Each structure stands twice: as C-alpha cells, then as structure tokens.
Amino acid sequence: MSSTYKNFIRGQWVAPLNGATFDNRNPANASELIGVFPRSTKADVDAAVDAAAAAWKSWRLVPAPKRAEILFRAAELIAARKEEFARDMTREMGKVLKEARGDVQEAIDMTYYMAGEGRRLFGQTTPAELPDKFAMSTRNPLGVCGLITPWNFPMAIPSWKVMPALVCGNTVVLKPAEDTPLSSVHFVEILEAAGLPPGVVNLVMGTGSDAGAPLSQHSGVSVVSFTGSCEVGNLVASSCASSFRHVHLEMGGKNVLMVMDDGDIDLAVDGALWGGFGTSGQRCTAASRVVVHKKVIGEFTRKFVERASKLRVGDGLEPSVDVGPVINETQLARIQEYVRIGQSEGATLLSGGRRLDTGPQKNGFFLEPTIFGDVAPNMRIAQEEIFGPVVSIIPCNSLDEAIDIGNGVKYGLSAAIYTRDVNRAFRAMRDMHTGIFYVNSSTIGAEVHLPFGGTKSTGNGHREAGTAALDVFSEWKSIYVDYSGKLQKAQGID
C-alpha cells in the first residue's frame, strides 16, 4: 500500500505550498506505486532555508561532542531498521537487496564515524614567533548547507554530506533525487527520532529544476554540495560563483580496470563482473572500461562473456537475482542508444544489449548485461559515461599503453590494476591520475574513513568521507592570544 509523504521543514512534516505531487514507482515493476511525494518549488526551498538559518544560531553553539551524541543515536536507530530500509530502497531504486543492505550499512558506518569526529575536529596549536603569545586554529561551521543527492546511493550519499555538515555545526537543507525520495524520508525520520532540534535538518523533495536549482541559487545557502552529472554540476558551480559561495562537486567517472599479462585472470573477471554490472552499472565508480593485455585478452574475454551471460536479471528483491533494473525508462533508452552507438562505431557486441520486457520483466526497465569487444580508446562508448550495464574491452600491448588509455578520458575517479608484479602495481598507482586506485580489486568499494572523490572533470578538488569531508563543511579560523601586555608586531617589525 502506497502512502503520501511530506517535506520536513522546521521540525514538521508539511505538504508542499502549491499542493503538487509526483508518483514514485518501482523500476522493476512500474505498475507498483511506492508513494506520492511533494513536487516542491522555490517557495518550499525558501521556507526550508529560512528554517535552517534560524536553527543555525543555536545549533552552532551546541558543543560538538553533544552534536555527536545525536549522530551516534541516529546510527543505532538506522542499524535497528537496516533490513526495512534496504527493502524499501530496492523497491524504489532497483539494486539487488544485498547491495541495498550495503548502501544502508555505509550510512551506518558514516554516521558512527562522524559521531567520533565530534570529540576531535582537531585544529592546531603552534609556537608563536613572539614571546608571551599563544597561536592556534579552530574549525568553524559555515551556516546553511544545501545538499543535492543522486538516486544511485539514496542513503549512503546523503549520509556522506549530512553527517559531516551536522557534526561541524551547520544546518542542512537536503534535496534528494526525485527517483528515490523514500530513502531520504527514512533518513530524516531517523534524525528526528534521534533528537535533532527543529530546523537543523530540512528535507525538500521534487525535481532538479523546481527544487534543486532554487536551492543551489539561494543566497542564504553558504555551501552547496552536489553529486550528479557534469552538466548539472557546471550549472551549480556557476550559480555559486557570482556570490563566492562555497561549492563541492562530485560528478562522473569512466573508470578503467587494467588486466596485465601476469594478472590472475579469474580474479580479474570477478572484478570486471562486480565493477561493470553491480548496481546495474549505475555507479560513478563502475568499471565501464577493461583494458586487457593482448597476451591474455582472448582468455579474459571468453571467461568474462561466459560469466556475464549467466547473470540473472530481475527484481532485486528476488534472492536469485544478480542484476536489477535500471532506474527509469529515460535512462534505459539512453543506455540502448549507447549500445547502438557502439555498434555503429565498429565495436563488436559480444554479449547482451537487449531490453528484457517479457514475463516477470515486462513492466520493468531491464537490460541484459552488455559487453563490447574490439573497442578503440577514442570511441564514444569508451569515452562517455553511460551509467548502465555496458562494459568495453580494450586491448593493450604494455603497462604504459594501459596507463595512457586509462588516463585518456576527461574523468579521473577510480582505476584498478590486476598484476602479480609489485613494481607494475606501484607504477600504476603513481601514474594513474585518479582519486581512487585499487590493486587486484575492482574499481568500487570505498571505505568511509578514506577520502572519496576524483580528479579532472570528476570533481572540483574537494573530497567526501574521512576527515577530508570536514574541509567541505567548515572553515579555518587562526587565533592569536597576546598576553605580553604590550603591542608586539609580527615579522620582526620594530
């Protein structure tokens, strides 16, 4: 049975001011209505920002360890409802249940981690260059944070943004993707139950144009943190630039998995399957390119195609299913267009490529796991982010060529190498221009205590997760205390 949901503003669940709504449907079965959600507009965003600005006046003064206690309670509450949240996530987003559990677990891990930062948030104390003078630095909150999150990790990514923002003493307006609002409703319900004061976290749901754009453009928002496409990220950056507001962007990837002639081929196939087809390829860290040494490309391709053809595609709630649907009809059509592009470019379709729309799959957005061979590095399918279960196999003659191919895209998020040669591994981890690198593992699987993010068009230099996330949601203040009782001038000025 579906429900009608509301925005969360100033500690209250409220209907959108214009009364408009949209339907959220199961991508595995579009006839199933998950719920009816607010189609918010600028007026709702304005109300949420006003609420957050009012709450910030007192929230920033709450001692960080006390803020962290609320986060710790939230982590406990999410853990207690993990299975419920995971099942709802699979229903609204499509990823298989075991992956949805991992998504919720990442939110749990991040929340515990940031709760721990409430007793750290370290600054520096240093010797001053003058006598009877004390020097130190402290982290300070920015104010209202506008957080715009995608649909592919609908609980993990909000936790990456909301929790460090809160522990630093900021208040928040969260605008989730319209494809996955229920997971954010669950997330905010937890924060409410954990005892967060009214207005500290606000939730506004709706489309990017109606709600996301007004949030990113709002003069009352001190920092915008956005995860999504490069095209929209460019608009977000432009909207913040004129007023010099802080902006954090986490965008696309065209990640490479390099298989050397001395690598463990079976292990590499495992990594390519998980990297290429986990979450139906809908990850910014997906291994959409596999560069394979010519000496082993035949063996790798044969095993990869054989394994991929046996993956079971269907409803992610079914225990036997390996690959769920893609998120919606528009994305499915976009992926199918890339399949046609690959064929027109001269790549060989080795496996998959067809929509599955009969029997139990007739009402969903399903695509066979797809593999292209004979792919040249400059083909569009090897350059552009497809965001679906499509993998390109590209041959190489050496490690140097593999690295050149790997770096030869506009993105720089994640890369991996399969090799038994430690020298090759260290050369690759040095020379790949990415924010994340794996040795003998796939391109996905980040942990919450290390920085997450990429280079080039993947982002704008900031990082999520770990202590690096604190730099997005705080700014430094240097403090000097002179107890000499006289005017002392720095830099040796007499």
Indicate the residue type of 162. Answer: V
What would the pLDDT profile of 353-377 be if each residue is shown by its tens digit?
A: 999 999 999 999 999 999 999 999 9
Contacts of 15 (CB under 8 A, 6+ apart): 6, 7, 38
pLDDT of 493 above 90: no
The mean per-residue pLDDT over the stretch 281-291 comes to 98
Distance CA 262, CA 268 (A): 11
At residue 491, the pLDDT reads 87
Element (H, E) at 415: strand 414-418
Average pLDDT over the chain, rounded to an integer: 97
- 323, exposed or middle or buried, with CB in 10 Å at 0-12, 13-18, 19+? buried
Contacts of 468 (CB under 8 A, 6+ apart): 451, 453, 462
The mean per-residue pLDDT over the stretch 137-155 comes to 98
- Catalytic member of 106, 178, 250, 385: 250
pLDDT of 1 above 60: no
Contacts of 209 (CB under 8 A, 6+ apart): none
Contacts of 371 (CB under 8 A, 6+ apart): 276, 304, 305, 308, 349, 350, 351, 352, 390, 391, 393
Contacts of 314 (CB under 8 A, 6+ apart): 28, 320, 321, 323, 324, 360, 361, 366
256-259/414-418 β-pairing: parallel
Contacts of 202 (CB under 8 A, 6+ apart): 7, 8, 9, 10, 48, 49, 51, 52, 171, 172, 173, 174
Q: Catalytic annotation on 32?
A: no
What would the pLDDT profile of 63-85 be if each residue is shown by its tens digit?
A: 999 999 999 999 999 999 999 99
The mean per-residue pLDDT over the stretch 177-204 comes to 98
pLDDT of 406 above 70: yes
pLDDT of 2 above 70: no
Question: Three-state DSSP class for 11?
Answer: coil
The mean per-residue pLDDT over the stretch 299-322 comes to 98
The CATH number of the structural domain formed by 3-251+459-478 is 3.40.605.10
pLDDT of 490 above 90: no
The mean per-residue pLDDT over the stretch 280-287 comes to 98
Q: Catalytic annotation on 396?
A: no
pLDDT of 180 above 80: yes
- Catalytic member of 284, 368, 396, 464: 284
Q: Where are the domains of the chain?
A: 3-251+459-478, 256-439
45, 133, 165, 174, 243 from 221: Cα distances, Å: 11, 36, 13, 12, 11
pLDDT of 223 above 90: yes
**Percentage of the chain surpassing pLDDT 90?**
98
- 91, exposed or middle or buried, with CB in 10 Å at 0-12, 13-18, 19+? buried
Could you tell me which of 279, 151, 245 has the C-alpha nearest to residue 207? Answer: 151
CB neighbours of residue 195 within 10 Å: 10
Residue 36 · residue 22 · CB < 8 Å: yes
Distance CA 103, CA 108 (A): 9
Distance CA 110, CA 106 (A): 6
The mean per-residue pLDDT over the stretch 103-121 comes to 98
Supply the DSSP string of 211-245, one letter for each residue: IIHHHHH-TT-SEEEEES-HHHHHHHHHHHHTTT-
> Check: CATH 3.40.50.300 for 256-439?
no
- Cα angle, residue 331 at apex, residues 330 and 337 outer, rounded to 5°: 95
Size (the chain), residues:
494
The mean per-residue pLDDT over the stretch 425-436 comes to 98
| Residue 488 confidence class, pLDDT cut points 50, 70, 90 | very high
| Residue 492 confidence class, pLDDT cut points 50, 70, 90 | confident
